[in-house]
Amino acid sequence: MPNGRQSVVAEDDLVENFHPATAGERHLPRDLVVWDETLRDGEQTPGVRFSPEEKLRIAELLSEIGVGVIDAGIPVVSDDEARAVRGIAHAGLRAKILASARTVPRDVEAVIDSGVSHIAIFVAASRVHLKYKLKMGPDEVVAASRACVRRAKEAGLHVAFVTEDTVRAPFDFVERLYGAATEEGADRLVVADTVGIMTPLTFRWYLTEFVRRVRPRDLSVHCHNDFGLATANTLAAIEVGARTPHLCVNGLGERAGNASLEEVVVALETLYDYRTGIRTERLYELSRLVEELSGIPVAPNRALVGYNAFSHEAGIHTHGILAHTLTYEPLQPSTVGRQRQMILGKHTGKAALVEKLKERGLSAPDPLLVELLQRVKLDAEQRTKDDLHRFLLEYRDRFDRPGLSDEEFWSLVDAVGITAVKA
């Protein structure tokens, strides 16, 4: 962490090492607003679909823990989606409820009809997107954006203007497009690293230049995790003043996902000593709810919310943790609503057994401890790998194709009556 002050340090026994030159270059926003994308980009994770009731459950918890803006979805997608957005918009939540729209009039009308107070209007910006996807010229993109932002403002909505693939677009066009949106009254500008190709230093430079050229009133960023850099890039953006990061619970989202809500929030709180307004002690509860409703399992080694994030097995580590948790834990598990776990296995040492025996008020002389330790290790080593392999195979099977199976798809083709065209 080149820029973070190690504020976790509460003990005289630890030394704070941080780069003195970078500390002064941080311009953290005074009032960060967490913009959650779990119900929109997160739902675009292949195979994920939340029912309107499930979306509401997640939105309620997001709002309770202090998320400022919730993207509830894209109402024009389907009746179900429109119903979900309406339900959340009328649930009386503290968070501002936002819905998304392309720069297409019926998309914007669907958002207005849904009763939300906030809209995100998005359009692609890079040449590759304009040429191959939108098949629109720059002038058409600017005109469509102007018309949609104007319409949403007329309807009284708070407007965020988003471009997809911002960072691969010509800067002159970006400046022109965002300038047009601002002229029409856009309240917040979102820069998107849609395919996750930024690095922290490059993104820092890009956003500094963006701020200089576009002068956004309120800068927001949308980072993808294709190279595992979404959290780092989001933090780099916040360091140069981005106020409204787009985040997803468990890092869900298209492909490798978005910046993870829990990682960015807890990094800010712990490594930057910055108050986000999020009730971090409920983050694990939120992660479990989203895991359950999305059906996307959290990897055991995932930061903060993975099952192993606060587990210790190795004898040396367990011994250290039992002596003082700061030896091998940078933060208390309770920070995110979790408990420390000591795992008994091949790498266990005596200290863990002494501690475990205390649970039943037991203590043992050394020879018995040694014997118990040998048996624990032997037992762990003798376990077959069959269970693990079976689990992995089932997991892969399920995620090889999370949507409709080929069989299901082709039977629908038959049902619709699509047949080969005879030459």
Closer to Mn ion at the Cβ: 41 or 107? 41
C-alpha distances in Å from residue 256, one per residue of 117, 127, 169, 194 = 30, 23, 22, 11
Cα(328)–Cα(334) distance, integer angstroms? 15
Closer to Mn ion at the Cβ: 166 or 348? 166
User: In 10 A of CB 268, how many CB atoms?
Assistant: 23
Closer to Mn ion at the Cβ: 118 or 224? 224
The answer for 241, left when phi > 0, alpha when psi is -120 to 50, beta otherwise, is left
Closest distance between Mn ion and the C-beta of residue 110, in Å? 20
Closest distance between Mn ion and the C-beta of residue 164, in Å? 8
Please give the residue whose beta carbon sits closest to Mn ion in the complex.
Answer: 41
Closer to Mn ion at the Cβ: 3 or 45? 45
Three-state secondary structure of 159-210: EEEEEECHHHCCHHHHHHHHHHHHHCCCCEEEEEECCCCCCHHHHHHHHHHH
Closer to Mn ion at the Cβ: 41 or 187? 41
Residue recorded with tokens 């979790």: 338
Closest distance between Mn ion and the C-beta of residue 373, in Å? 50
Closest distance between Mn ion and the C-beta of residue 233, in Å? 13
Residue recorded with tokens 């009133």: 217
Closest distance between Mn ion and the C-beta of residue 259, in Å? 10
Residue recorded with tokens 């720059």: 138
Cα(203)–Cα(326) distance, integer angstroms? 33
Which residues would be at the binding site for Mn ion (CB under 5 A)? 41
Closer to Mn ion at the Cβ: 87 or 257? 257
CB 284, CB 307: distance < 8 Å: no
Residue recorded with tokens 């996307």: 296
User: In 10 A of CB 395, how many CB atoms?
Assistant: 11
Closer to Mn ion at the Cβ: 36 or 41? 41
* DSSP bridge partners of 158: 118
CB 75, CB 115: distance < 8 Å: no
Closer to Mn ion at the Cβ: 45 or 270? 45
Closest distance between Mn ion and the C-beta of residue 222, in Å? 6
Looking only at the bridges linking them, the beta strands covering 188-193 and 69-71 are: unpaired
